[in-house]
């Protein structure tokens, strides 16, 4: 390897000047164990109870939202969900804001990932970018939405697809990385 090539140094604290957790250590600690014992354990299957708890921790959630057990949400205080949306057992790594509109569906084992690292820096800085799902979006089972992606209204990410760029409205995306395969026509 040429000697001029730099190496990453994870020992150094990475730059987090653009990253704010947004909750006290007490709130973080309490949420950690509520998430562990009540949400990820699956012990509480009632959507109403799960929604209530999320709101207590600062989530903004509309009416008639269904939350399934076993769901993972990093920080409820960085989560917004509109009305009539469904969140199955999915993985929401919302280091940054995740904003979900009305009538959205996030299926089983889908991932919404807001965190990235700057692999061009030796300090491997954390980079976070929000994810926005507009109304009527469907993120299919095992699918992944990458940091900063905007899924425009009524876009669909099919099973296992990986959205690395914004999704156009009323469009179906498939593959890794996801590409548009057809329009979504709704009767």
Under rule CB under 8 A, residue 86 binds a copy of itself: yes
How many binding residues for a copy of itself (CB under 8 A)? 63
Residues 94-133: x where in contact with a copy of itself by CB under 8 A, - otherwise, as a string: ---------xxx--xx-x-x---x-xxxx-x---------
Give the chain's end-to-end CA distance (angstroms, integer).
59
Under rule CB under 8 A, residue 175 binds a copy of itself: yes
Both structure tokens of 62 = 């509309």
Q: Rounded CA gap, 68 and 165, in Å?
A: 27
Q: Coil, strand, or helix at residue 106? A: strand
Nearest Cα to 137, choosing from 113, 160, 167? 167
| Cβ atoms of residues 142 and 108 within 8 Å | yes
Site for a copy of itself in 41-70 (CB under 8 A): 41-43, 45, 64, 69-70
Positive/negative CA dihedral, 5, 11, 12, 14? positive
Nearer to a copy of itself, 77 or 86 (CB): 86
**By the criterion CB under 8 A, which residues form the site for a copy of itself?**
1, 5-11, 32, 36, 40-43, 45, 64, 69-70, 83-86, 91, 93, 103-105, 108-109, 111, 113, 117, 119-122, 124, 135-136, 138, 141-142, 144, 146, 153-154, 156, 159-162, 164, 169-170, 172, 174-177, 184-187
């Amino acid at each position: 390897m040429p000697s001029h090539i730099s190496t990453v140094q994870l020992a150094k604290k990475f730059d987090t000047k653009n990253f704010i957790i947004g909750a006290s250590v007490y709130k973080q600690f309490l949420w950690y164990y509520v998430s562990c014992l009540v949400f990820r354990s699956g012990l509480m299957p009632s959507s109403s109870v799960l929604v209530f708890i999320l709101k207590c921790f600062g989530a903004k959630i509309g009416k008639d939202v269904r939350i399934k057990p076993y769901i993972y949400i990093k920080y409820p205080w960085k989560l917004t969900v509109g009305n009539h949306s469904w969140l199955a057992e999915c993985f929401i790594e919302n280091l940054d804001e995740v904003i979900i509109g009305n009538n959205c569906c996030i299926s089983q084992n889908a991932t919404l990932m807001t965190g990235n690292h700057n692999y061009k820096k030796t300090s491997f800085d954390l980079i976070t970018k929000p994810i926005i799902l507009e109304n009527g979006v469907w993120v299919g089972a095992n699918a992944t939405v990458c940091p900063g992606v905007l899924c425009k209204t009524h876009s669909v990410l099919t099973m296992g697809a990986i959205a690395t760029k914004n999704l156009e409205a009323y469009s179906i995306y498939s593959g890794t990385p996801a590409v548009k395969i057809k329009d979504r026509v709704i009767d």
